[in-house]
Amino acid sequence: MSQFAPLQSPSPNFDERRCRKPVDMVVLHYTGMQSAEAALARLRDPDAKVSAHYVIDENGSIHNLVPEDMRAWHAGISFWRGVRDVNARSIGIELVNPGHEFGYRPFPDAQIAALIGLLSGIAERHRIAPAGYVGHSDVAPQRKEDPGEYFPWARLASAGFGLWPGADFQVSPNAPELRPGMSGGAVLDLQVALDRIGYGVEGSGNFDPLTESVVRAFQRHWRANRITGSADAETTSLIHYIAQRA
């Protein structure tokens, strides 16, 4: 648990959820700015028209910008598990990190511990399935890459927040290796599995640019040591493994 109680740092950038469905997602971001102060200033600027419910600094301090019962403007054009208005169904959490533009770096232990503590409270207030803990790159794979390959998804899953392969995962000896430009039944099967996980990909049977972006987002989340956009045997096996548990 975080040693810090949330600091109230209200943002004007929210509106009513306007949705009868309950909150069933948490979307994780990095701030992608040079300092926490700069990020908080932007997220509280009415002209920016962007915010999140929470910001977690690298030292573990938590800022509450938007009440959880309101719709914060954090995900933009996005999609997950059939939901196109992700903002209406999610809680957005920004983790202070310069991001790929300003010197991306690993997330400190204090920051992740604070996040896990915050998620514990969110889980008590909302019913969120393991597949509902996602990154900005998952819900907007053609636009975003945060929280990025350094984010410790395995640590979150071990705390009960998210999906992660277990000790039973194996690379299938029959897993095909699929690349952009290919087409056929194996590509269609891959797209169907990605759709089952939650990604917004159409089952065309063609390994098109959208499918490449989605595979890259999947790798960034579940196979971050090698992000290629091609589905090698390990990636293909992982996609089908996670899809069976989503």
User: Burial code of 225-241, b = ≥16 C-beta within 10 A, e = fewer?
Assistant: eebebbbbebbbbbbbb
Closest of 38, 36, 68 to residue 52, by C-alpha: 68
Contact 70, 15 (CB under 8 A): yes
16 is catalytic: no
| CA nearest to 243, candidates 207, 189, 206 | 189
Which ranges constitute the DSSP H helices of 71-208? Answer: 86-89, 99-102, 109-125, 136-139, 153-158, 185-197
* DSSP H or E run through 237: helix 233-245
Contact 9, 40 (CB under 8 A): yes
Strand partners, 15: 71
**Of the listed 68, 94, 149, 234, which one is catalytic?**
94
In 3D space, the residue among 245, 238, 240 whose CA is nearest the CA of residue 220 turns out to be 238
> How crowded is residue 113: how many other Cβ atoms within 10 Å of its Cβ?
17
Judge contact between 25 and 90, C-beta under 8 A. Answer: yes
Q: Report, as residue numbers or ranges, the catalytic residues.
A: 94
